[in-house]
Amino acid sequence: MGRILPLGPRKLYLRPSPIHGIGVFAATERRPGALLEVSPVLVVRRKHVPTLQQTVLYRYYFSWPPAAAALALGFGSLYNHSYQPTASFEMDTEQRVIVFTAIQPIGQNQEITINYNGDPEDLTPVRLDWP
Q: What is the pLDDT along the chain (131 residues), one digit of tens a residue?
A: 455 555 556 689 999 999 988 999 999 999 999 999 999 999 999 899 888 888 888 888 898 988 789 999 999 999 999 999 999 999 999 999 999 999 999 999 999 999 988 888 888 887 654 43
At 1 the pLDDT is: 43
Amino acid 104 reads Q
Fold of 8-114: Beta-clip-like (2.170.270)
Q: What is the DSSP letter of 4?
A: -
Q: How far apart are CA 69 and CA 45, in angstroms?
A: 7
| pLDDT, tens only, 47-74 | 998 888 888 888 888 989 887 899 999 9
d(CA 34, CA 103): 8
